Structure 1
Amino acid sequence: MIHNPNNIRTAGKPLEEASKVMIMVHGRGGSASDILSLSQYINDKDFAFIAPEAQGNTWYPYSFLRPVQENEPYLSSGLEVLASLRGRLQADFNFKLPQIYWLGFSQGACLMLEFVARNATEYGGVFGLSGGLIGPDETPRQYEGSFGNTPIFLGCSDRDAHIPKERVLESERVFQQLGASVTAKLYPNFPHTINEDELKIVNLLIADS
């Protein structure tokens, strides 16, 4: 395995004490501690936060729009890390799937959104900031399972240099077809970063869940 599933950092409540857990996935060139810094903007204090760190701080080498095999075996290794983390939270800390939340930014959002699409079930919430499902435009989206009305938020600039808005809207449609309650928002002329409005929406969805 390229990425080490044990290379993780945590914040918030201890995993043993928390009633909810958020898996946070960093972007290209970022780190677990970078993405965990967002936990201070989450108003709900019942959360434990856990973030894996990619080998070399990159989950896969090329754009998420490239043919999938070009990003292998890194991509599959990254997806395995998320599967391992989810399994550990269930087995070792007794979290039920609706108590598990996901948040990712940029490359981390792409990896996380692809993972939850391939493993559709009822989660607490899924927050993809500046990301979309992985693969070229003609990728068949033959995912199975159902999100059972899981709240999913997709936020992105309408002219992001890395994430075409068409992919955000395609991802919205795919998640709706899988039964999620999707909120997608494109921000005019916004840079490739996370904004206050996105964090406000994340907090609102958590409060409603």
Structure 2
Amino acid sequence: MYTHQKNIITAGVPIETADKAIVFLHGRGATASDIINLNQHFKVDDAALFAPQATNHSWYPYSFMAPEKENQPSLNSALTLIQELVSEITTGGIPLSKIYFAGFSQGACLTLEYIARNAGQYGGAIAFTGGLIGETINRANYTGDFMQTPVFISTGNPDPHVPVSRVEESAGILKEMKADVQVKIYPGRVHTIGKEEIDLARKMVFHL
């Protein structure tokens, strides 16, 4: 078990002149540098980009569907790190309604878990293959109103790490919390990010 050191890669437009911010969350075994390069595909050119690096390249040690206590204190440390980053971005002059999140796999799960525990009107969120965290979903963890924040969730079926049933259950909770959720399931797709889902995310979340 571990807690996360603050190690954040930045790119894009300086926060002082940016119109929006995107927080990128990488998957298990990957790097902040890997995930921040997604913006080469999103092509959002007016955003300050931020990507925290997980200590030991993993946000939490076990499956996102393990009992939550088994993934502590790493999970809470990761959520706190994102909270601190979001606070720094808003202090820098970018409101929540202009902050976007994008994650893949473990980072997608963390994206959904963070926004559901801190619901509000964000710019949008993209979860490439992810769902809410826990052996079972603890609905009591999630309160607030997304005020129609666009959320895009995609996955393959079957996916070796993320069951479609968990994706659908997670989407249902976010919809109850007034998020504008779109789910896309790709039959037989391997654990990766495809061009079609990038294009859908650009259209739905960034309106490009």
**What TM-score bracket applies, with the shorter chain setting the length?**
over 0.9
- Gaps in structure 1 of 5+ consecutive residues: none
1:80-95 aligned at under 5 Å gives the runs 80-91=80-91, 93-95=92-94
Matched residue SS, 2:134: coil
Aligned to 1:136: 135
Query: How far, CA to CA, are the matches of 1:116 and 1:32 in structure 2?
Result: 19
Aligned to 1:46: 46
Q: Aligned letter for 1:141?
A: R
Deviation at 1:208?
A: 3.2
Aligned to 1:2: 3
Query: How far, CA to CA, are the matches of 2:169 and 2:205 in structure 1?
Result: 24
Range 25-34 or range 37-46, more displaced: 37-46
Aligned residues of 1:27 and 1:108 also touching (Cα < 8 A): yes
Aligned to 2:60: 60
Aligned residues of 1:20 and 1:47 also touching (Cα < 8 A): yes
Matched residue SS, 2:37: helix
Aligned to 2:112: 113
- Summarize deviations over 1:95-116 as a string: whole Å, max 9, x none: 1011000001000111111010
Q: Aligned letter for 2:89?
A: L
Query: How far, CA to CA, are the matches of 1:11 and 1:54 in structure 2?
Result: 17
Give me the TM-score of the superposition, normalised by structure 1: 0.95
Count of matched residue pairs: 206
Aligned residues of 1:11 and 1:39 also touching (Cα < 8 A): no
* RMSD (Å), alpha carbons: 1.2
Query: How far, CA to CA, are the matches of 1:207 and 1:128 in structure 2?
Result: 14
Q: In the alignment, is residue 102 of structure 1 matched against residue 101 of structure 2?
A: yes
Aligned residues of 1:32 and 1:51 also touching (Cα < 8 A): yes
Deviation at 1:15?
A: 1.7
Q: Percent identical across equivalent pairs?
A: 42
